[in-house]
Structure 1
Amino acid sequence: MPIKYIPYTPNTIEGQAVLDNITRTKRVLRYRENNEVYNRLERGMPYYEVETVEQVGEPSENLIMRGECVSNCAYLKEQGIKVDLVYIDPPFASGVDYAKKVYIRRNPKLAAKIREAEKTMEMEELRTFEETMYGDIWQKEDFLNWMYENLQAIKSIMSENASIYLHLDYHIGHYVKILMDEVFGEERFLNEIIWCYSDAANSKKYWNTKHDTIFFFSKSEDYVFNYEEVLREHSEGNIKKYKYEDEKGKYRLFGKNIQGSPIQWHRDVKPEWEKTNPELVYRHYLKAGSLPLDWWTINPVNQAAHEKQDYSTQKPEELLERIIKASSNKGMVVADFFGGSGVTAKVANELGRKFIHCDVGINSIQTVRDRLVAEKASFTIKEVKDGVNLFRNPQQTMDKLATLITGLQTKVEGVSNFWLGAINDSKLGTVPVYVPDLIDSQQKLLDIPTINRIINQEIQNLSINAKKVIVYYIDIDDEKELKKFIKENNATTTDVELKDLKNLLHETVVDDELEFSITEGKGEYTVSIDKFTSDRLQQKINEFNEKRNLQAINKGKKFEPINISEEGLELIELISLDCKNSEGEWFSSTEIKIDKLGYVIYDGEKSKDFWNGKITSKEKPLRIKVRNISGDESVVVI
């Protein structure tokens, strides 16, 4: 349950356009759940307990938060934290399932053999399987209501001179532009930016889509825009063409009319000053460039391998660099509430800004954490304690739920998609089961509007005679009040049983198992990992092997299954030792990460060493944390 609800604005509704209360919106947008959006806004943002998970580097204002956009904004508002620039790249309502490729690491027991034959022995083929990160599959109305609530929450923690860039594509962007008009005001719309990118074309039936859309809004008339930081620079090739090194080692530029520019700046610069101030000359040259335009040609990430994080929705650093330079100054706070691969936080840190990275998926939190560790950044990781163990992300939890509820069958005849499925009870017959969609934060709270819909619409729409339905909830508004409402308003003979989903989830989560030994000598401690067991991962691998083997049989081919050694060390991605705290927030005194090729990254520094199954520290370790290749983390107190 939330500790309390925090208003979006001092007076939440008065003066706000809430989807259906002005004529233009009524004509353009039709939503099924207008009243629920209105009720949620009136109630405010849910404020949960927030736990500090880890401190990296020196104490700072930089934050990484695992949680949903609205609850993260509630925390920021309660703490009085304002943001100066927002970039968000939310789901696009594209109807696509996004997957993460999971790489099996090399067996460290073979590391010595590989090193001995490193030039003659061929590297074994990388073995992988995929896991769904999240499903970008929405009903249009649900997505727009969800986005509307998020935008209201984000606006509530923006400073008066802040601006926001909202990144979408053709699937839903034109609808969300109207929501942005309602939330920030049409007069605060500044640009529709077109990001053009080169990528393989795959259709001969229509024009291939090679651009995304970014909407640029400000909160007030007083906003930051540093146009000089983003003047369209001439290509590096042309700069080199008109640059040479003089006899004193100073760079000069020939006074030329570059690319047809009418400005011949050399007429304004004395040759002596040009020799002694080459950097100023260079800046003067760049100012001859064109003013920034609203279409950008920037290569996608797959054209810049040094940036790749193996994160399916990752955006290029150049894109964020342009936005952050233009719309913020050093020391300002840059926030991304759908942080994904962490490119916003990484670029903001490089440019001397403070950053706030938020995401609901544990893979996102781990990706940006490791990325920033490599950059030697300082930050705090926090987690919103909403009472639900989401495994690695909400999509995987939803996929798992159908197997966790005993006897549940999906796609039961006579039971609509509103229900997750139904249980066949020997005494009661078919019992429909409702489970809130964890991907849609609006469904987390079971309240009177939801119960009213269940008893006066969904139960009555069932084409079976259900004696009972089961309604799972994550948060509940007032259980006594809800049961009283059901008793007084349920016109059917169907019994409604309420169940707490958190109890079901907590009972099913089993940590990975770790066996290790510690030796001390020569001023350091060595932790040897003897065995690692992950039932969840092994089950995934078994499912993958069965599926691929069946496909191979159907095609008359032979399939080589993924086999894990008895020690299971191929399933480990990261090991961290805490030599400072035996409980509470984690402090990584030293850590190693094994990349997909089997090489070790020591405290963010890449190497060409193969992992040998050990980690060392100068201080006595108090706790050890192990992250498996799918992102599950287990902590053992030593």
Structure 2
Amino acid sequence: MTKNEQDAFETFEFDLPPIRGFPELRWAGKRPFRSTQYFPAQKKEAYGDPTDGWWNRIYWGDNLQVMSHLLREFRGQVDLIYIDPPFASDADYKKKIKIRTENIESDSAAFEEKQYADIWTQDQYNQFVYDRLVLCRELLSESGSIFLHCDYRKAHHIRCILDEVFGPDRMLNEIIWKRTSARSDSKTFNHIHDVLFFYGKSHDYSFNQIFVPHDPAYIKKYYSYEDEDGRRFATIDATQAGLRNGSSGKDWRGFSPSSKGNHWKFSIEELDRLDAEGRIYWPKKEGGWPRLKSYEDELKGAAIQSIWTDIKAVNSQAAERVDYPTQKPTALLDRIIRSSSPKGGLVFDCFMGSGTTQEVAMRLGRRFIGADINLGAIETSTKRLIAARANIEHGNDDLFTDNEQAPSKLYTGFEVYNVNNYDLFRNPVEAKELIKEAMELQPLAPGSVFDGQHEEHLVRIMPVNRISTRADLNEVINGLDFKAFEARAAKAPNKPVERIHLVCMGHEPDLGPELEKAAKPFDIEVKVTDLIRDKAHLHFKRASDARLKIEDDHLVIAGFYPLNLLQKLSMDAEAVDDWRQLVESVKVDWNYDGAVLTPAIIDAPEKDELVTGRYPVPADASTIRVKITDLLSESWEGDIENA
């Protein structure tokens, strides 16, 4: 391997020392994850300004590639990781898409769009989680920690994987989050909780105790006294106050030392100080021991335990709801981020989804990095962060109560990146069908492990939402017809018995040779196409089009035609009353530099309101860049010169 080739990889060793009796989770095709290829990233958009030179970052792409990219700059620097990976729920998660109008006259004006598929074989899922946890560990600082959110389906497996990657002695908590009280008619006890596994990178992890208000019954029972100022208080034994013992032989104001040793003795100086502070509670009984006052208005509250029942899931009426499947409540991330990261610390979430982690981190004065493979997640999170920035700048942020001090420094500027030019597919769920169409594959008989045939090659489309690995070859290998190979080899011994074409988006080295090796003693020809590098050879249909013009010193969007969205609605462009009904947002950069979109106009109305579509052009505008995002989160971008 050359020096340049070595520089293209990041390596890491973390083998735990042998532990007698240590259980290890095994699965078919399990392999150690010891190195990863470096993947480039392209900055596409920027919002706001940096704070002390820091820009928060959002990445669109496979999180394995994103973390491989981040290793060079952020290895050992992340203070907190929260991840909410797929739950292996055997379900497709969908988002309701409807035209922006209050009057929907037919079903054609609305449909459900798959955001991602959570359907796995068990072995693939375990390796998927394992690889990503190794990279998470490499990114964490020595005082950092990770929270992994899962449910009953995979919690037992994930706990074993976390023990292997971080070490069983790094396990800090198994937190139970009671997310609902819903009931059903199922034949089991209802599943009403999720699990949060809390692990530290080392034993020197950062932790801030979090308190919640005491139960009213507790206050009523113990804080029953009231002083002359009207302050409610309880009395506590001096031992609990931690006062030091007085020296023997001093004047104890008539109080004799305790023979049982369950009370501390007060010196004259201590009594005088506590009296001045109003802390001494003198009992009415003559000769009784004094006690200390504990005021209700100074209570921190009850320390949070490992069962969380006070945070509700995001329901259909919640103000924070952004209509993204699996959205988690801000209160949940607020508790995690406050407890396990310092102000100004770096928070990372590589299964970003709706952007809850990033929004809360911004509002709590933490720096953040987020990543997701789904374009809908990127657009939803970007819109959410733009709104959070505006609320912070206008003083409308309500995350802090009157008794809390907001952070003195906030990090609100953020940039959006694509990793590895990941802009070929807008929706990974539909990617396979798009590839079949672009390659003009001939269909095969039902039950084949291949997705079609192209010329002499059988084509297998590998997972497009992540790097293809040797483990992904198992199904192909099991589907090889060795009896047919034997007959072909006898008939033409000098020719390959099969020609196979693997299509993927990034892959491990030697993917092709590994499949050729598995076919031995027969010779097969394996061709591997990496769509990220070789996409120029494929021609995908353009998803949308638009017309721009300058009219009366205004930028005017004269028309917008999102072809993919219109096709899903089974509508022609002429059937839509107003193109703005199909638009989620419009962003305008008046002086585009040819690389990074820096919007001066962000037109992203709520609910059924429509974008303006007409914007006054400033006098210093030059090359104007417009980005129009439709209801599917698919975008069109184009330029117009200000003459």
Counterpart of 1:375?
388
Residues 438 and 487 of structure 1: is their aligned pair in 2 closer, same or farther, counting only changes over 3 Å? Answer: closer
Counterpart of 1:248?
none
Residues 342 and 269 of structure 1: is their aligned pair in 2 closer, same or farther, counting only changes over 3 Å? Answer: farther
Shift in Å, 1:74: 2.2
Q: Is the 8 A contact 1:53 1:382 kept in 2?
A: yes
Counterpart of 1:175?
157
Shift in Å, 1:30: 2.9
Instruction: Choose the corresponding residue for 1:526, options 554, 558, 565.
Output: 554
Asked if residue 305 in structure 1 is aligned to residue 331 in structure 2, the reply is no
Counterpart of 1:513?
545
Shift in Å, 1:295: 3.3
Instruction: Choose the corresponding residue for 1:586, options 597, 603, 614.
Output: 597
Letter in 2 for 1:591: I
Instruction: Choose the corresponding residue for 1:100, options 95, 101, 109.
Output: 95
Q: What is the alpha-carbon distance in structure 1 between the residues aligned to residue 112 and residue 430 of structure 2?
A: 12
| Deviating more after overlay: 303-312 vs 562-571 | 562-571
Asked if residue 197 in structure 1 is aligned to residue 193 in structure 2, the reply is no
Q: How does 1:2-21 map to 2 (within 5 A)?
A: 5-9=8-12, 12=13, 15-16=15-16
Q: How does 1:213-224 map to 2 (within 5 A)?
A: 213-224=195-206
| Deviating more after overlay: 159-168 vs 458-467 | 458-467
Shift in Å, 1:286: 3.1
Q: What is the alpha-carbon distance in structure 2 between the residues aligned to residue 614 and residue 563 of structure 1?
A: 21
Shift in Å, 1:125: 6.5
Counterpart of 2:568?
540
Residues 297 and 408 of structure 1: is their aligned pair in 2 closer, same or farther, counting only changes over 3 Å? Answer: farther
Shift in Å, 1:5: 4.1
Q: What is the alpha-carbon distance in structure 1 between the residues aligned to residue 105 and residue 232 of structure 2?
A: 52
Asked if residue 54 in structure 1 is aligned to residue 45 in structure 2, the reply is yes
Instruction: Choose the corresponding residue for 2:62, options 56, 60, 68.
Output: 68
Q: Is the 8 A contact 2:375 2:427 kept in 1?
A: yes
- Report the TM-score when normalising by structure 2: 0.75
Deviation string 1:229-261 (CA, Å, 9 cap, x unpaired) is x21313699999999xxxxxxx9753479xxxx
Deviation string 1:148-188 (CA, Å, 9 cap, x unpaired) is 11000010010000011000001111101000001111001
Q: Please state whether the residue corresponding to 2:481 is helix, strand or coil.
A: helix
Q: Please state whether the residue corresponding to 1:73 is helix, strand or coil.
A: helix
Letter in 1 for 2:365: G
Q: How does 1:592-603 map to 2 (within 5 A)?
A: 592-598=603-609
Shift in Å, 1:398: 3.0
Shift in Å, 1:347: 0.8
Q: What is the alpha-carbon distance in structure 2 between the residues aligned to residue 482 and residue 476 of structure 1?
A: 10
Q: What is the alpha-carbon distance in structure 2 between the residues aligned to residue 617 and residue 237 of structure 1?
A: 62
Instruction: Choose the corresponding residue for 2:581, options 562, 570, 576.
Output: 570
Instruction: Choose the corresponding residue for 2:461, options 429, 435, 452.
Output: 435
Q: Is the 8 A contact 2:585 2:611 kept in 1?
A: no
Instruction: Choose the corresponding residue for 2:502, options 443, 468, 471.
Output: 471
Letter in 1 for 2:500: V
Shift in Å, 1:476: 5.8
Residues 28 and 154 of structure 1: is their aligned pair in 2 closer, same or farther, counting only changes over 3 Å? Answer: closer
Letter in 1 for 2:300: L
Q: Is the 8 A contact 1:456 1:491 kept in 2?
A: no
Q: Is the 8 A contact 2:78 2:347 kept in 1?
A: yes
Residues 167 and 614 of structure 1: is their aligned pair in 2 closer, same or farther, counting only changes over 3 Å? Answer: same
Q: Please state whether the residue corresponding to 1:195 is helix, strand or coil.
A: strand
Instruction: Choose the corresponding residue for 1:233, options 187, 207, 213.
Output: 213
Q: Is the 8 A contact 2:374 2:427 kept in 1?
A: yes
Q: Is the 8 A contact 1:335 1:357 kept in 2?
A: yes
| Deviating more after overlay: 64-73 vs 457-466 | 457-466
Q: What is the alpha-carbon distance in structure 2 between the residues aligned to residue 405 and residue 232 of structure 1?
A: 58
Q: Is the 8 A contact 1:455 1:486 kept in 2?
A: no
Q: Is the 8 A contact 2:512 2:526 kept in 1?
A: no
Counterpart of 1:187?
169
Residues 529 and 240 of structure 1: is their aligned pair in 2 closer, same or farther, counting only changes over 3 Å? Answer: farther
Residues 473 and 235 of structure 1: is their aligned pair in 2 closer, same or farther, counting only changes over 3 Å? Answer: same
Shift in Å, 1:380: 3.1
- Report the TM-score when normalising by structure 1: 0.75
Letter in 2 for 1:594: P
Shift in Å, 1:123: 5.5
Shift in Å, 1:358: 1.2
Q: What is the alpha-carbon distance in structure 1 between the residues aligned to residue 175 and residue 543 of structure 2?
A: 46
Asked if residue 627 in structure 1 is aligned to residue 611 in structure 2, the reply is no
Q: Is the 8 A contact 1:530 1:567 kept in 2?
A: no
Instruction: Choose the corresponding residue for 2:349, options 324, 336, 345.
Output: 336
Q: How does 1:129-140 map to 2 (within 5 A)?
A: 129-140=111-122
Shift in Å, 1:146: 1.0
Q: Is the 8 A contact 1:152 1:183 kept in 2?
A: yes
Q: How does 1:317-328 map to 2 (within 5 A)?
A: 317-328=330-341
Residues 341 and 413 of structure 1: is their aligned pair in 2 closer, same or farther, counting only changes over 3 Å? Answer: closer
Q: Is the 8 A contact 1:45 1:153 kept in 2?
A: no
Counterpart of 1:246?
none
Q: Is the 8 A contact 2:516 2:523 kept in 1?
A: no
Q: What is the alpha-carbon distance in structure 1 between the residues aligned to residue 356 and residue 29 of structure 2?
A: 34
Letter in 2 for 1:93: A
Asked if residue 492 in structure 1 is aligned to residue 522 in structure 2, the reply is yes
Residues 374 and 237 of structure 1: is their aligned pair in 2 closer, same or farther, counting only changes over 3 Å? Answer: farther
Q: Please state whether the residue corresponding to 1:459 is helix, strand or coil.
A: coil
Shift in Å, 1:365: 1.2
Q: Is the 8 A contact 1:299 1:316 kept in 2?
A: yes
Question: Which sections of structure 2, spanning at least 5 residues, go unmatched?
Answer: 224-228, 242-273, 280-293, 390-410, 489-496
Letter in 1 for 2:80: L
Deviation string 1:111-161 (CA, Å, 9 cap, x unpaired) is xxxxxxxxxxx8557942111111001111111111111000010010000
Q: What is the alpha-carbon distance in structure 2 between the residues aligned to residue 50 and residue 291 of structure 1?
A: 40
Deviation string 1:52-72 (CA, Å, 9 cap, x unpaired) is 111111123311111222222
Letter in 1 for 2:79: D
Q: What is the alpha-carbon distance in structure 2 between the residues aligned to residue 394 and residue 570 of structure 1?
A: 25
Counterpart of 2:420?
386
Instruction: Choose the corresponding residue for 1:459, options 458, 461, 480.
Output: 480
Shift in Å, 1:200: 3.3
Residues 256 and 456 of structure 1: is their aligned pair in 2 closer, same or farther, counting only changes over 3 Å? Answer: closer
Q: Please state whether the residue corresponding to 2:180 is helix, strand or coil.
A: coil
Q: Is the 8 A contact 2:233 2:295 kept in 1?
A: no
Q: Is the 8 A contact 2:354 2:377 kept in 1?
A: yes
Q: Please state whether the residue corresponding to 1:472 is helix, strand or coil.
A: strand
Deviation string 1:72-125 (CA, Å, 9 cap, x unpaired) is 22222211451101110010111110112212123xxxxxxxxxxxxxxx8557
Q: Please state whether the residue corresponding to 1:79 is helix, strand or coil.
A: helix
Q: Please state whether the residue corresponding to 1:624 is helix, strand or coil.
A: strand
Instruction: Choose the corresponding residue for 1:396, options 430, 450, 453.
Output: 430
Q: Is the 8 A contact 1:512 1:533 kept in 2?
A: yes
Q: Is the 8 A contact 2:467 2:507 kept in 1?
A: no
Residues 304 and 321 of structure 1: is their aligned pair in 2 closer, same or farther, counting only changes over 3 Å? Answer: farther
Q: Is the 8 A contact 1:366 1:631 kept in 2?
A: yes
Question: Which sections of structure 1, spanning at least 5 residues, go unmatched?
Answer: 107-121, 244-250, 274-279, 546-560, 599-609
Q: What is the alpha-carbon distance in structure 2 between the residues aligned to residue 487 and residue 462 of structure 1?
A: 17
Letter in 1 for 2:344: G
Counterpart of 2:245?
none
Q: Please state whether the residue corresponding to 1:326 is helix, strand or coil.
A: helix
Shift in Å, 1:368: 1.2
Letter in 1 for 2:232: F
Q: What is the alpha-carbon distance in structure 1 between the residues aligned to residue 529 and residue 62 of structure 2?
A: 23
Q: Is the 8 A contact 1:8 1:152 kept in 2?
A: no
